[in-house]
């Protein structure tokens, strides 16, 4: 995300939202939304588009991302993702660069009536070699 922010056109702005702290989704509480979730949903509503960066774990995207998506798209009739274009980036220590995570994520996003961008596909394989110990992208071709 930091590399994407650095490479953005001058007239574009990328606001990074950390989903850390979003509690586990529980339908029993979807009408008493936690403050962190309210903030998340409001930022999504105000955004012109969404960029999701995800690692790949066990052939899919992480459960914490699915949890955040569930909160932001619920309750029925209050889907903050409705009609938003969305781009996806992924990284993996494997050779596919998170391709499987992206394909699973696309299925979820389509169900939420989002519009995934098809190309360019940004998949970073062998991520350990492309980022330094501080998480900064160091591979020029990437």
Digit-coded pLDDT (tens) for 100-141: 999 999 999 999 999 999 999 999 999 999 999 888 999 988
* Domain parsing of the chain, residue ranges: 2-9+29-129
Give the largest CA-CA distance in the chain: 47
Phi first, then psi, for residue 88 (nearest 5°) are -130, 135
Rounded Cα distance, 9 and 7, in Å: 7
Cβ-Cβ contacts under 8 Å for 68 (sequence gap 6 or more): 19, 22, 40
pLDDT category, 2, cuts 50, 70, 90? confident
Rounded Cα distance, 111 and 125, in Å: 27
Rounded Cα distance, 109 and 134, in Å: 30
Residue 115 DSSP SS3: strand
Beta-sheet strands, E only, within 26-114: 50-55, 85-91
In this predicted structure, the answer to whether residue 30 has a pLDDT above a threshold of 90 is no
CATH top-level class of 2-9+29-129: alpha beta
- Count of positions (residues) in the chain: 142
Which tops the pLDDT comparison, 8 or 72? 72
Looking up tokens 């940004």 gives 122
Cis peptide before 120 (omega within 30 of 0): yes
- pLDDT tens digit sequence for 61-108: 999 999 999 999 999 999 999 999 999 999 999 999 999 999 999 999
pTM for this one? Answer: 0.90
């Amino acid at each position: 995300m930091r590399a994407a922010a650095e490479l953005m056109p001058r007239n574009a702005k990328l606001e990074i939202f950390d989903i850390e702290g979003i509690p586990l989704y529980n339908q029993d509480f979807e009408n008493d939304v936690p403050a962190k979730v309210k903030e998340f949903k409001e930022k999504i509503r105000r955004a012109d588009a969404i960029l999701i960066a995800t690692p790949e774990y066990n052939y899919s995207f992480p459960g914490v991302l699915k949890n955040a998506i569930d909160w932001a798209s619920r309750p029925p009739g209050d889907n903050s993702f409705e009609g938003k274009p969305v781009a996806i980036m992924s990284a993996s220590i494997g050779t596919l660069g998170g391709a499987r995570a992206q394909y699973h994520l696309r299925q979820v996003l389509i169900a939420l009536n989002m519009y995934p961008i098809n190309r360019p596909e940004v998949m970073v394989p062998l991520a350990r070699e492309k980022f330094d110990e501080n998480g900064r992208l160091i591979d020029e071709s990437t």
